[in-house]
A and B are shown apart, each in its own frame.
Chain A
Amino acid sequence: MMQQGVQGQERQQRALAIEAHGLVKVFGDNRAVDGVDLSIPTGSIYALLGPNGAGKTTIINMLTTLLKPSGGSAKIFGHDVAKETQIVRQLISVTGQSAAVDERLSATENLTIFGMLLGLSKSQASKRAAELLVEFGLEEAAKRTLEKFSGGMRRRLDLASSLIIQAPLIFLDEPTTGLDPRTRVQMWESIRRMVASGSTILLTTQYLDEADQLADRIAVIDHGRVVAEGTPRELKAAVGKATLNLSLADEKEAPEAARIAEDVLRVKTSRPEANLVTAPMSDPDSVTDLLVALRNAKIRLATVSVQEPTLDEVFIALTGDGKDAQAGGAKA
């Protein structure tokens, strides 16, 4: 039994969907990607997060064989992106940052041609096209040329084009930028469904709540480097603690409540508003003690809430001071 467990672990280690070592891309004298390591296990959703120009798209372009790395190496399911390009292309599908569909053709024609290029017969391809158009709510616009499509419709067709045949590894560069909230949630569902049926997803996003909701792990990219990596929870924990908010029924009791909180939690509190007491929270158990102490002192609470640090705070803390980070990087 033990032995099997070890073997299983080994297999899992081999089953990395993406493995990159020291990836570098230089444009002129701009090191757009500057030594990126990634290891992304099969079956996970992995998010690249970073400000504009951080190098996210360039990383994706190298992993998808669209750009030759200037240095380092990357493997997709064990196949080198520089040497085994045709194998890699059979294992991936890519939705780029800008729409990669033909403006001059209709939605059906676009999907049918992509399907035929992937080896479907013409009738199989048009059948698949019809299914996808329904799935992405485009069936009414199927026959129109894309010139008359709205931005969001074009984006949806672009995503549909990447899902004609479900690839084991799916790259999505800002998949939900420009989508309305309802379509965005639908997109999240599609992403989760693809993972449930065996695909691995690498996505980039500008929406931190999206990364928080979807991603198993996140790499924060800045100036072409990975500046932090981990689960959303780990990243948040690294930046700050949760905050306890006590809102009092009677604001005259606030100073007393603050004193008790400082006593019980042994932290400094603050009072952003007259009836509000906030305190950094490290140990959730001590909150119970605090609530008991408040009740004993007959202090009535209006609401109690715990605020997790947001990824926004993580993001700004890690990438906020762009200029300094670059200077530091250059010196190092």
Chain B
Amino acid sequence: MSAQIVPGAERKLKNRISIQMSISNSLTMAYRTLLLIRRTPQQLFDVTIQPILFTLMFSFLFGGAISGSVAGYLPIIIPGILAQTAITASMGTGVQLREDMDKGVFYRFKSMPIARMATLAGPLLADIVRYSIATGLTLVMGYILGFRWVSTDGLLLAGFLSVFAAWCLSWVFALLGVVMKSAQAVQGISAAILFPLSFLSGAFVPTKTLPSWLQDFVNVNPLTYVVSAVRQLFTQGTVGTDFWLSLAGSIAIVLVFAPLTLRAYMRKA
């Protein structure tokens, strides 16, 4: 005679998932995302190849033309590439979320007694690792080329701001990932958002020479503030208005997009 399980009719159960369980579920899903990254390292291309390649390419390509020398250009370009790789990485979050949600394993997740939002929160949490890799590699490349910062505090805060802004922005791409039909579509739309955002931000060139209508766009582009804040942290080691503005802007993005994304996700799930 085998051991008997507790009969279904006699179990006392709650019709909601506790907060502890939601957190534990999200951490498990984050762990799963990290395993997936380890199994398919090509997922890390955007956060490894790109920072290395872009730092080299932009420094030598534009260095002479814009600042007279590579060394002189580094203080402009490194903060720019930092911001750009961070948001490219956050775009990857949306694409991968879409791909993941189409996999058969989601059929099982949906029928399990787990917090719905964990399947969303887990990957977003795990991707902080990707943003950190992107940020770290860009800084290492910059250092090799001769880029120097004035204080360690400034460096750490700049790194934090890049990663945090990327994480906040990833909610926008996560929303795209949830509502769009295919990973390709997410990729396409995300790229269309990404390019103007990163190039018209003062990330690569000083914006003073731009025509005024473009300058207007640059001035409303949240990335402009992240780039200037990071630049200030590197060159002066101080926290200025731009820092607080970009922090507030990033938080505002999460406050708007996280509920939208969650709602769209729940409706689908």
Check A307 for interface membership: any CB of B closer than 8 A.
Answer: no
Cα separation A15 to B32 with both chains bound (whole Å): 38
A-B contact pairs, 24 of them (CB 8 A): A15-B9, A65-B111, A76-B8, A77-B9, A89-B112, A89-B113, A91-B8, A91-B13, A96-B104, A98-B104, A100-B104, A102-B32, A102-B36, A103-B104, A104-B36, A105-B32, A105-B35, A109-B35, A117-B25, A119-B21, A197-B4, A198-B5, A198-B7, A199-B5
Residues of B at under 8 Å CB distance from A?
Answer: 1-9, 11, 13-17, 21, 24-25, 28-29, 31-32, 35-36, 39-40, 103-114, 118
Cα separation A147 to B236 with both chains bound (whole Å): 52
Which of A17, A94, A161 has a CB less than 8 Å from the CB of B8?
A17
Verify A114–B8 contact, CB threshold 8 A: no
Known: A17-B8, A98-B104, A104-B39. 12 other contacts (CB 8 A): A65-B110, A85-B15, A86-B17, A91-B11, A94-B107, A94-B108, A98-B107, A103-B104, A114-B108, A118-B113, A168-B5, A198-B4
Residues of A at under 8 Å CB distance from B?
Answer: 14-15, 17, 42, 64-66, 76-79, 83-87, 89-94, 96, 98-105, 109-110, 113-114, 116-119, 145, 161, 166, 168-169, 193, 196-200
Verify A15–B7 contact, CB threshold 8 A: yes
Which of B9, B40, B105, B118 has a CB less than 8 Å from the CB of A78?
B9
Closest to A14 in B: B9
Verify A42–B9 contact, CB threshold 8 A: yes
List chain B residues, Cβ under 8 A from A116. Answer: 24, 28, 31
Which of A101, A113, A145, A197 has a CB less than 8 Å from the CB of B5?
A197
Verify B111–A94 contact, CB threshold 8 A: yes
Cα separation A93 to B39 with both chains bound (whole Å): 28
Verify B9–A118 contact, CB threshold 8 A: no
Cα separation A65 to B16 with both chains bound (whole Å): 14
Which of B5, B14, B36, B104 has a CB less than 8 Å from the CB of A86?
B14
List chain B residues, Cβ under 8 A from A101. Answer: 104-105, 108
Cα separation A193 to B112 with both chains bound (whole Å): 22
Cα separation A17 to B14 with both chains bound (whole Å): 18
